[in-house]
Structure 1
Amino acid sequence: VLGEMCLEGVKPDKVVFLRLVRSCLTLEHGNLVRSLLEECGLSRDLQIATELLRMYGSLQEGRMARNVFESLGQKDLVAWNAMIDAHAQCGQCKEAFAIYERMPLQADKVTYTTLLSCCDDLGDGEEIHACAVSDGIEWDVAMSTALVRCYGRCGNPEKAVAVFENFSGNKDVGMWTAMILCLSQNQKITEAIQVFREMEQQDAVVWSSMIMGYARSGHIQDALEIFSKMDHPDKITIAQVLDAYADLACLSQCKAAHRDFVSPNQELESETMVANALVHMYAKCGSLDEARRVFDRMSLQSRNIVSWTAMISAYAQHGRSSESMELFQRMQQRGVEPNQVTFISILSSCSHSGLIDHAAYCFYSMEQDHSLVASQSHLVHMVDLLGRAGMLKHAQEIGESSSSRKSEELLPCAMVESLLGGCYTQGDREMASKI
């Protein structure tokens, strides 16, 4: 219809463009609509730009969203919140906080709920909590649930329990589920079961949370027992159970799970979430051929960055560097942007295969071509690679540069261990004594 309008010389108006942006499900379509907006002089319309931010956020294209945001002149609170949410959906917590700190307007419930939804640092979570209280924000169930989840992710279930128990409103299923998941993720299975039993309504999401909690705390058999009691598990639950089987690392049991839980329903295997879980499960069992078969059966539309990264990582972890590199190239040719986890897998593969030039290219391309900041994990892999190759001076330079980079994925001692490992391999006691 849009093509016919253009052929007839009829320019779409603002209402049409708003509907177009909201209907975009792929990056290709989104960029096409954005180009048309620029041609029609509507790309900087605040309402349309805000929808573009939401679209790019849903597609996990934080860089594209940031480009739209920075092109705007005056921004209202809705636009600021949309930009924060775009970073949150991309898992870019630090970037979301940076936007919040730049915001010249007073934050509202949406701002704080979004920040809490992606926060994975206890100090940041406590700061958001304090700011919301200081601003006099009225805590509704959505915001309180986000805070419970935040404290759960940050490893402080006691604070999560305090928020849960002190909430004076009506707790919905989402809040009960968040509390159960928080407790089970933090090894408090007994308390999680108690909350589970106190619930008046136990839907599929709650049962799934118990399964996930058991699985993540190492109680695999308990997770599978709960699953066996469910009547009609959904795709989320199936994916969680497959993750539990992956932790068993038993190929025969994993194949049985695939046969019993997925194969009877052909539509399930076409679901991205389930297919990704199957790839991860087989990779963890060391059956890369089975993992690749599942991956190859996925349609191009259903493969997301998680799918590609899972397969690339599987090859990298099992020393099959040529396959991981080939898949990395194919992914980019398909227009899928690599993320930080993808680059960790590639650098790991290069490190174990001694591919110095390729590792250096990927390392610098990550920042220059993809606007991704190197984390401590990336630096450790580079130091390890250079140390193995006898390039200790270069390894030390990269190691020292880590002090200027913000990252909390690994402790600084990991960098020291890699440097010392390189010195030991090369027999360089003099440099080792200086580290």
Structure 2
Amino acid sequence: MLRGGLSSSTAVLPKPPQPETLLPVIQSHIDSSQPKCTIPKPSPYTSTLQTLLQPISNQNAPRHSSYAPLFQFLTARNCLKLGQQIHSHMTLHGLQPNAFLGAKMVAMYASLGDLESAVTIFNEIESPTSLLYNSIIRAYTNCGYPLKTVDIYCKMHYLGLKGDNFTFPFVLKSCANVLNGWMGKCVHGQSLRFGMELDIYVGTSLIDFYVKIGELRDAKKVFDIMTLRAVSSWNALIAGYMKEGEIGVAEGLFGRMPRRNIVSWTVMISGYTQNGLAKEALSLFDEMMKEESEVKPNWVTIMSVLPACAYSAALERGRRINEYVNRIGLESNPSVQNALIAMYAACGSLVDARCCFNRIRENEKNLCAWNAMISAYASHGRGVECVSTFDNMIRAGVHPDAITFTGLLSGCSHSGLIEFGLKYFNSMQTVYSVEPRLEHYACVVDLLGRAGRLVEAMEFINKIPMKPGPSIWGALLAACQKSKNLEIAEMAAKELFVLEPENSGNYVMLSNLYAEAGMWKEADKLRAHLKCQGIKKNPGCSWTEINGKAHFFLGGDTSHPQAKEIYNLLEALLEKIKAAGCVPNTSFVLPDISEEEKQHNLTVKSWQLVLDY
């Protein structure tokens, strides 16, 4: 008999440590083992390993259940070495993982980025369970292998193992990622058989799945039958309606939400931006910024609203958002700075764009950052800076991609850097292994066209290894308008009329060329064709920002509150211009109107109204 009255045969074995009790113990050992002087100290890993294994070391024969909480604790703890050491300790004691312990080990290895070890352990277990399959399904999904996830689920189903609310969400996510509608619907059917459709996690995953494959009606059906809905259920459906451009329905759902989180607000703002509703996006962002708002913007929200500033050229609004970014400590976030670069470039402030680029640490300047800066310079026709930035990127060891060359070639084109542009295009495949796309061929056509080398541009198009698209023929037609080459313009326009029959701009460009050449019958035929087909010319639109408010103008616009004053100033300016001896060129305006009407049509362009305002 032992002291205390218990025989050795009935002695209570020590319980395995619980995960929640391990963190403070481990942290104290790591902290205490940090070197505080020059005397060598034990490794934190050695001390921590001893702490973790101490309860097991007191056991005569360690059991599987003793190791399970250790692997569970180390999951997602960034301690792969510790996990491997505990795994070795277990093996040295002659233990091989069973299905329960294997599930914990698979989860740990996958969460620490060692998917290969996770798969090896899974394959070695002879009698798998649903828990084990759930672990490997989650591992493959989180590591970005959706096809593997679907394959593993099929094997699980073949073995007769029942899926649950930990299985179906990951399988549905994988089906959505590969747009496998048929398989996802089969999984939906399985969830119905097992009574899982009303589960909050499974239901939300089903909504997200149907949204991503474009079957919004089915997503709404699932949403309607859910008796309990999470905020994520609402968010998924709102995102679906925004994606389909059904703004009103999304707004209705957003208004009915019993509770909103940061994702709810961000989904709405992002949806507004993607649908070109910059004013609504900025207005909703302003609501979040109010003092009484319980939800404040995060870095994802900021990245969603910045394009709205770019669309409306709201430079001052963008600067205020930049100030907020600095206040909440995101000034060194590369993703936010990349979005700020694009916003400032679109709003016309290259200086601010460059400041944001310089704010990113050198070791954090990834391809997106370099591309953003190259594209910024390209959009302002600063070809020399494009080339310089590209060279700096190569020296920094960052490999270019297709987006890089689109910006670089566009910058060269707008700056007249013909030879530089051709050199970089020819080096895409041979030096950088980047396959040219249609947009790159279009840039080269534009490059040659702006230099007046239209015959060379035409020969280049004939050698393109794929069918030329609208961007290529459009670049050639625009170049013909500048060079007054009617023959090649007719060839380009003929292709465009087939590729873009609804694009009025192509008809207008060719009509203007006919008008300048005095071929009024041909110009009349084109305009008559436009009218007969019901194709309307899109009016020019320009805007400016004053005191934080964007003012929009269309060609011939009279809707602005100060339209009368704007037109009075415009007329006064025209009189001064005429007095200085400058006369409007009306040669390409249709001849069947008076000279006064011709001059009027030329002087009510949207950009002129903006300047006068």
TM-score (norm 1): 0.67
Of 301, 319, 330, 2:329 maps to 301
Aligned equivalents of 1:344 and 1:352: distance in 2? 12
Answer yes or no: is 1:385 the counterpart of 2:408: no
Residue 352 of structure 1: how far off its partner (Å): 2.4
Does the aligned pair in 2 maintain the 1:383–1:399 contact within 8 Å? Answer: no
Counterpart check, 1:415 vs 2:440: yes
Could you report, residue by residue, the CA deviation over 1:224-273 in whole angstroms, capped at 9, with x for unpaired residues? 11111123311111111222333454555344323434414466336434
Task: State the 1:350 CA deviation.
Answer: 2.6
Against the structure 1 CA distance between its residues 17 and 273, is the aligned structure 2 distance closer, same or farther, given a 3 Å change threshold?
A: farther
**Aligned residue number for residue 207 of structure 1:** 234
Q: CA deviation at 1:324?
A: 1.6
Tell me whether 1:164 sits opposite 2:188 in the alignment: yes
The answer to whether the 8 Å contact 2:262/2:296 transfers is no
1:306-365 deviation line (CA, Å, top 9, x unaligned)? 3222211212334433322221111226x7x23443333222113223444543454465
For the residues of structure 2 that align with 1:403 and 1:396, how far apart are their CA atoms? 10
Amino acid in the other structure paired with 2:82: Q
State the AA in 1 paired with 2:401. Answer: S
What is the 5 A alignment of 1:300-339? 301-303=329-331, 304-332=333-361, 337-339=364-366
What's the CA shift for 1:48? 7.4
**2:81 pairs with 1:46:** yes
Cα deviation, 1:112-150, whole Å, max 9, x if unaligned, reads: 53443464xxxx744553366469896654454233223
Amino acid at match of 2:45: K
Task: Please say if residues 223 and 244 of structure 1, whose CA atoms lie closer than 8 Å, have aligned partners that are also in contact.
Answer: no
- Report the 3-state secondary structure (helix = DSSP H, G, I; strand = E; otherwise coil) of the residue aligned with 1:202: coil
1:156 to 1:365, Cα distance in 2 relative to 1, 3 A: farther
Cα 1:129/1:365, change in 2 over 3 Å: farther
The answer as to 2:450 corresponding to 1:425 is: yes
Output the CA distance in 1 between the equivalents of 2:116 and 2:43. 34
Distance 1:46 1:144 in 2: 32
1:143-162 equivalences in 2 (<5 Å): 143-162=167-186
3-state SS, counterpart of residue 260 of structure 2: coil
Q: Does residue 1:346 correspond to 2:373, yes or no? A: yes
* Count of matched residue pairs: 362
Per-residue CA deviation, residues 398-421 of structure 1 (Å, 9 max, x unaligned), is: 343499458xxxx93333333333
Please tell me whether the aligned partners of residues 211 and 226 of structure 1 are also in contact (alpha carbons under 8 angstroms): yes
Task: Return the offset for 1:282.
Answer: 3.2
| SS of equivalent to 2:257 | coil
CA distance in 2, matches of 1:332, 1:396: 30
Instruction: Say which is worse superposed, 226-235 or 292-301, in terms of deviation.
Output: 292-301
- How much has 1:293 moved relative to structure 2? 1.0
Give the deviation of 1:208 after TM superposition. Answer: 1.3
Cα distance change, pair 164–12 in 1 and its aligned pair in 2 (3 A): same
Counterpart-to-counterpart distance in 2, 1:46 and 1:260: 47
- Give the equivalent residue in structure 1 for 2:59: none
Instruction: Quickly say closer, same or farther: Cα 1:395–1:302, change in 2 above 3 A.
Output: closer
**What's the secondary structure of 2:258's corresponding residue?**
coil
Residue 493 of structure 2 is matched in structure 1 by none
Q: 1:380 to 1:387 in 2, by over 3 A?
A: same
Q: Any unmatched runs of 5+ in structure 1?
A: 19-42, 51-75, 86-98
Change over 3 Å in CA distance of 1:164–1:415 after alignment to 2: farther
- For the 8 Å contact 1:246–1:285, the answer to whether it is kept is no
* SS of equivalent to 1:7: coil
Aligned to 2:262: 235
Structure 2 CA distance, aligned partners of 1:278 and 1:255? 7
Normalising by the residue count of structure 2, what TM-score does the alignment of the two structures yield? 0.50
Q: Contact conserved, 1:278 with 1:294, CA < 8 A, in 2?
A: no
Please say if residues 161 and 179 of structure 1, whose CA atoms lie closer than 8 Å, have aligned partners that are also in contact: no
Q: What letter matches 2:190 in structure 1? A: N
Question: For 1:83-102, what aligned pairs fall within 5 Å after superposition?
Answer: 84=113
Amino acid at match of 1:379: F
- Partner amino acid, structure 1, of 2:329: Q
Cα deviation, residue 181, structure 1: 2.1
Partner in structure 1 of residue 45 of structure 2: 14
Aligned residue type for 2:81: L
- How far is the alpha carbon of 1:377 from its aligned partner? 2.2
More displaced 10-residue stretch of structure 1: 248-257 or 348-357: 248-257
RMSD over equivalenced CA pairs, Å: 4.2
| Aligned-partner Cα distance in 2 for 1:284–1:433 | 36
Question: C-alpha distance in 1, partners of 2:366/2:438?
Answer: 25
Which range is displaced more, 374-383 or 110-119? 110-119
| Corresponding position: 1:374 with 2:400 | yes
**What does residue range 253-272 of structure 1 map to in structure 2 within 5 Å?**
253-265=280-292, 268-269=295-296, 271-272=298-299
Between the aligned partners of 1:394 and 1:295, the Cα distance in structure 2 is 38
**What are the residue-to-residue correspondences of 1:255-294 with 2, within 5 Å?**
255-265=282-292, 268-269=295-296, 271-294=298-321
The DSSP-based 3-state class of the residue aligned with 1:374 is coil
The 1:240/1:270 distance shift into structure 2, 3 A limit, reads closer
In the alignment, the residues of structure 1 paired with residue 120 and residue 387 of structure 2 have an alpha-carbon distance, to the nearest angstrom, of 40
SS in 2 for 1:269: coil
Name the amino acid aligned to 2:374. Answer: L
Q: Are the structure 2 counterparts of residues 223 and 246 from structure 1 closer, same or farther at C-alpha, using a change threshold of 3 Å? A: same
* Larger helix share, 1 or 2: 1
Residues 216/297 of structure 1: CA separation in 2 closer, same or farther (3 Å cut): same
Select the residue among 390, 395, 400 that pairs with 2:429. 400
| Unmatched segments (≥5 aa) in structure 2 | 1-27, 50-77, 86-104, 124-132, 465-613
2:244 corresponds to 1:217? yes
Q: Is the 8 A contact 1:17 1:48 kept in 2?
A: no
Check if 1:129 corresponds to 2:143. no
CA separation of 1:416 and 1:144: change in aligned 2, threshold 3 A = farther
